[in-house]
Amino acid sequence: MNDQLQNALEWIGGSPLRIIAVIAGAIFSQWVGHRAINRAVNRLASADLRPGPGTANRQAERARTIGSVLRSILNAVVWIVAATMILGEFGFNLGPVIASAGIVGVAVGLGAQTLVRDILSGIFMLIEDQYGVGDRVDVLTIQGVVERVGLRITTVRAEDGTLWYIRNGEILTLGNASKK
């Protein structure tokens, strides 16, 4: 066999094949993870954990919101690991990159404290079922109906028609007139 052809076959069987395997593994892991999360979310959304009028819809919405967060976390983890493995195949020294990522992570964590507080407050608000879409609430100086509940922001339509965007980390007290 020709030396050039043999070198080409060895090269293709080496790094490119491993990179394709990493990408295929990431896609497969993402597919399996999404499927597992969707099945769990569908079970939670359809289960009647807290019997009572109107709780099934709120429970389904909370399950879907938590499911979307889990899918986003899964995507980030899978593709960060895949990108790191691919960079390793190209011969990058990953030690300094990982050390730098740790330092950058601390800096971003300090700078994004309000974002983290908002998201954590949103998660606990969903878990505790403090309010949901359609509830009449009194929050901060706003009285109105909740239109959308997210992990970071809750939107409330005030009685005068104004749409308010309230960060979940800023909600310290809340009155829910829809819960009796």
For the chain, the domains span 3-93, 128-176
Tokens found for residue 27: 């896609």
Q: State residue 155 phi and psi, 5-degree precision.
A: -105, 130
Q: Residue holding tokens 């597992």?
A: 36
- Give ∠ CA 23-26-27 in degrees, rounded to 5: 85
CA proximity to 174, closest of 134, 143, 128, 153: 143
Name the most confidently modeled range: 67-76, 116-125, 155-164: 155-164
Task: Tell me whether the CATH fold assigned to 3-93 matches the one assigned to 128-176.
Answer: no
Highest mean pLDDT among 31-35, 100-104, 127-131, 135-139: 31-35
- Residue 54 is predicted with a pLDDT of 60
Q: Could you confirm whether domain 3-93 is CATH 1.10.287?
A: yes
Question: What is the CA 105 to chain-centroid distance, rounded?
Answer: 17
The CATH number given to 128-176 is 2.30.30.60
Residue 164's pLDDT band (cuts 50, 70, 90): very high
Compare 121 and 61 and report the one with higher pLDDT.
121
Provide CB contacts within 8 A for 165, sequence distance 6+.
153, 154, 155
Separation in Å, CA 20 to CA 14, 82, 85, 161: 10, 10, 11, 54
Report the distance separating Cα 46 and Cα 41, nearest Å.
Answer: 8
Query: In this structure, are residues 121 and 134 in contact, taking their beta carbons and an 8 Å threshold?
Result: no
Comparing CA positions, the residue from 114, 128, 124 lying closest to residue 170 is: 114
pLDDT at residue 13, as a whole number: 67
Whole-prediction pTM: 0.61
Q: What is the pLDDT of residues 55-88, one digit of tens each?
A: 677 777 777 878 888 898 899 999 999 998 898 8
Q: Which residues make beta-bridge pairs with 144? A: 137, 158
